[in-house]
Structure 1
């Protein structure tokens, strides 16, 4: 197998070690083998005194990572018993936690598309860089799934109603919104990234980033906070939709159309997940909850149907079941938070601090 066929490329340059997600034709979508390779590399570099900084990038021109390999999850949910997907998530979520607690600077170049699992391997890092090309999203409700990889933890810490808005709608956001929502730390123009990578080989991460960081170009995102904060205070998804529909802003009306196109079950489970995050505290406890929810989703019709409509057949016409928000009961939602029979994800007391910082 040549280097170009390896799904993850690993190398060192000076004081920095590099992870390159290398499935550009699949927009670097993560599979189980890639998760294991990244985890093994981080374990080795943590003990290597020659490695002072870890950098993660994506091969190709389109982005860092489009998420997990949802075609494989679809096939497992449709034709298998779900154990392959559960095993993938088990290791992926543990990797997300490792990244968040990594003792060395972990620099994520969130250039281009960064979705789902791509957020998991970047936005938990200690140095998160966006560019003018960044398009960051947790679009899971559109495939009958729920934000995972610690996404509900990250979005649960976003200001006001912004995290709930992004979790429910799956909206793509640019650099300024990612910074405002706490998903990123620094803005570096994409033409400066090669020079930044060179500097990371020779300088401490903070010094290298400071050489290239610039003020982020502003969009209308900040102006949207008023209606987002007002509408997403609703106690239920139905109440949120009603509040959005009553607003005069075109973007709020567009959010209504977006929400009504998503899986009703996924919307209600996502809102319940976001509200429960407030009491869970640490990332590790949130990942334990997400694992329960993800495994429960494997037995639902919406996950298979959503991936079929959006990714496989691409007809963009999913037949959700139940079909409307009103048809999704509290019992339907609650079962997602109950043990599914899969092996449960449990972090040790040492891995699961109670602080939220």
Structure 2
């Protein structure tokens, strides 16, 4: 393995190996070095017969992971040629696919904030735990980007219009709604997590889960399915906004206002990506698509501008270009899906689906 790096802490206790994302001041945002270290650890533990379970947690009290290190992306796109970010995404997406096919139980503790790249390293795992503190989101349209790390795959599988709502608005969901949307598997009270994690050192995952899994508090989206399913079934973003505005509920009108504050290009590309994802079949095929979309976004105006407004200058007033939904044409959207030739991620070409039983 590479030289020690304290941004990901590794340890083995009994039958369980532990990955601890350790950048708490940055809410454990992922760097390229962290992605490589996680991948190397998974390789070593896959070959180690003494390791039966892998457990992912985040340092600090705020959450598992806020996403990728977008400050580094901004620096790369504004002062460089984007090569470092493309390399980061290539390794990150490959890691996400690997986690989904990992042959040993991969337990992701999704306590607190889990956003963007944090969803990638957790929500593709075989055992995904949420708590009353969990806040799960794919907030990319707010920075002129599109849900990636397999996010369009996961959200395309959510029931009704829920996935489209979460992808376009970037709304955060609590435990009950994360379970409803297929982003998590089990609810565990936060106070039980230390005991659960300790027990994984001595007992199989299924046995440990039986001791601690509880019923999740109901999520608010259950009561909003009627307007969500109706509004997000519209064929275009413009029509989605019109339906949201026409709906009588306050929540629908707030969703419309949120959409109108997002990058118009990112919204239209996100809707197209979600709908294409439904027909692609595998996570690997969707990640291949997301890589094309992400590379195109890297060359766009809105990604750098969105990060500037939300993270660098923090003026919260991005100047999108085009600035309206009407200004984004079909050709503008189509170019995000253009083949990359010999630069394709090409995960689907070598994908082998594994049925894992524990």
TM-score by length of 2: 0.96
Aligned length: 353
Structure 1 residue 193 corresponds to structure 2 residue 193: yes
Shift of 1:81: 0.6
Give the Cα separation in 2 of the matches to 1:37 and 1:4. Answer: 9
Report the 3-state secondary structure (helix = DSSP H, G, I; strand = E; otherwise coil) of the residue aligned with 1:322: coil
1: CA distance, partners of 2:19 / 2:149 = 18
Q: Is the 8 A contact 1:281 1:354 kept in 2?
A: no
Corresponding residue of 2:266: 266
Q: Partners in 1 of 2:160 and 2:89 — Cα distance? A: 29
Counterpart in 2 of 1:100? Answer: 100
Deviation at 1:207, TM superposition (A): 1.1
Alpha-carbon spacing, 1:4–1:130, altered in 2? closer, same or farther (3 Å): farther
Q: Shift in Å at residue 340 of structure 1? A: 4.9
Match of residue 222 from structure 1: 222
- C-alpha displacement of 1:226: 1.0
Q: Distance in 1 between matches of 2:208 and 2:350?
A: 32
Give a deviation string over 1:81-117, Cα, whole Å, max 9, x none.
1110000000000000000000110000000000000
- Is contact 2:77–2:304 with CA below 8 Å preserved after alignment? yes
**SS of alignment partner, residue 326 of structure 1:** helix
Q: Please, which runs of 5 or more residues in structure 2 have no aligned partner?
A: none
Aligned residue in 1 for 2:132: 132
**Equivalence for 1:249:** 249
Residue in 2 aligned with 1:39? Answer: 39
C-alpha distance in 1, partners of 2:263/2:274?
16
> Unpaired segments of 5 or more residues in structure 1?
none
1:7 has 2:11 as partner: no
Residues 1:294 and 2:294 aligned together: yes
Q: Report whether the alignment pairs 1:275 with 2:284.
A: no
Shift of 1:350: 4.2
> Which residue of structure 2 lines up, in the alignment, with residue 153 of structure 1?
153
CA displacement 1:310-348 (0-9 Å, x = unmatched): 011111100000000000010100000113578210126
1:184 aligns with 2:180: no
Q: Is the 8 A contact 2:16 2:201 kept in 1?
A: yes
Between the aligned partners of 1:349 and 1:294, the Cα distance in structure 2 is 19
The residue aligned with 1:66 is 66
Q: 1:83 and 2:83 equivalent? A: yes
- Whole-angstrom CA distance in 1 between matches of 2:219 and 2:294: 34
Q: Please give the alpha-carbon distance, in whole angstroms, between the structure 2 residues aligned to 1:65 and 1:264.
A: 27
Structure 1: distance between partners of 2:354 and 2:28: 33
Give the structure 1 partner of residue 16 of structure 2.
16
Distance 1:256 1:76 in 2: 33
Q: Specify whether residues 340 and 73 from structure 1 end up closer, same or farther in structure 2 by C-alpha distance, changes over 3 A only.
A: farther
User: Which secondary structure does the structure 2 equivalent of 1:221 belong to?
Assistant: helix
Instruction: Report which stretch shifted further, 305-314 or 335-344.
Output: 335-344
Q: CA deviation at 1:137?
A: 0.2
State the Cα distance separating 1:294 from its structure 2 match. 0.2
- Offset at 1:349? 4.0
CA RMSD of aligned residues (A): 1.6
Residue aligned with 2:286, SS:
helix
* Partner secondary structure for residue 220 of structure 2: coil
What CA distance in whole angstroms lies between the structure 2 residues aligned with 1:234 and 1:188?
A: 36
Does the aligned pair in 2 maintain the 1:282–1:354 contact within 8 Å?
Answer: no
The answer for the alignment partner of 1:319 in structure 2 is 319
